[in-house]
């Protein structure tokens, strides 16, 4: 149903664009001295009438598709297939995005580790080692006593 509404809207937009283009063309012809004012007025009227007929045809076609069970079922099958395809595409795209984010996060963690490890080795490890040595020394002293 939404597909048909979209098709009608697209057809209406196409007709509207055609009307605008034909109106510009008619305006150019009106401004030119090639034809008489009466001929040009008839052409403008023809453009407007033709645009209305095009819109009516598009609406009639959409309504006819909805009324005919076979056409309606074909349209529904087409929409189901399109929906399934779009869902598959979204799933693939989601996987790609997830992998990209994982790679970005892994890279950020690696860089952070490269920044922190030298600081840890230079500042923290010596303190830990001194505390550990003092503890071992104190432990030996208590065992010997």
Q: Residue 17: inside a domain, yes or no?
A: yes
* pLDDT exceeds cutoff 90 at 111: yes
Q: Residue 81: inside a domain, yes or no?
A: no
Q: Residue 139: inside a domain, yes or no?
A: no
pTM above 0.75, yes or no: no
* pLDDT exceeds cutoff 70 at 46: yes
pLDDT digits (tens, 9 = 90+) for 2-38: 666 677 677 767 767 776 776 677 666 666 655 566 6
Q: Residue 124: inside a domain, yes or no?
A: no
What gap in Å lies between CA 55 and CA 9, rounded to an integer? 10
* pLDDT exceeds cutoff 90 at 108: yes
* pLDDT exceeds cutoff 80 at 84: yes
Q: Residue 30: inside a domain, yes or no?
A: yes
pLDDT at 114: 92
Q: Residue 49: inside a domain, yes or no?
A: yes
Model confidence at 110, pLDDT cuts 50, 70, 90, reads very high
Range of the domain at 15: 1-67
Q: How many domains, in total, are found in the chain?
A: 1
pLDDT digits (tens, 9 = 90+) for 59-80: 888 778 778 888 888 888 888 9
Q: Residue 55: inside a domain, yes or no?
A: yes
Q: Residue 56: inside a domain, yes or no?
A: yes
* pLDDT exceeds cutoff 60 at 124: yes
* pLDDT exceeds cutoff 80 at 133: yes
Percent of the chain surpassing pLDDT 90: 12
């Amino acid at each position: 149903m939404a597909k048909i509404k979209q098709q009608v809207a697209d057809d209406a937009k196409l007709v509207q664009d055609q009307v605008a283009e034909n109106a510009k063309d008619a305006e150019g012809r009106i401004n030119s001295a090639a034809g008489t004012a009466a001929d040009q007025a008839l052409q403008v009227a023809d453009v407007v009438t033709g645009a209305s007929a095009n819109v009516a045809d598009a609406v009639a076609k959409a309504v006819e598709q909805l009324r005919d069970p076979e056409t309606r079922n074909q349209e529904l099958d087409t929409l189901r297939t399109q929906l399934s395809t779009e869902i598959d595409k979204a799933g693939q795209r989601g996987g790609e995005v997830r992998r990209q984010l994982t790679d970005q996060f892994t890279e950020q963690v690696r860089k952070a580790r490269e920044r922190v490890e030298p600081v840890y080795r230079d500042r923290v490890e010596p303190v830990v080692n001194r505390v550990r040595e003092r503890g071992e020394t104190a432990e030996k002293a208590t065992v010997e006593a």
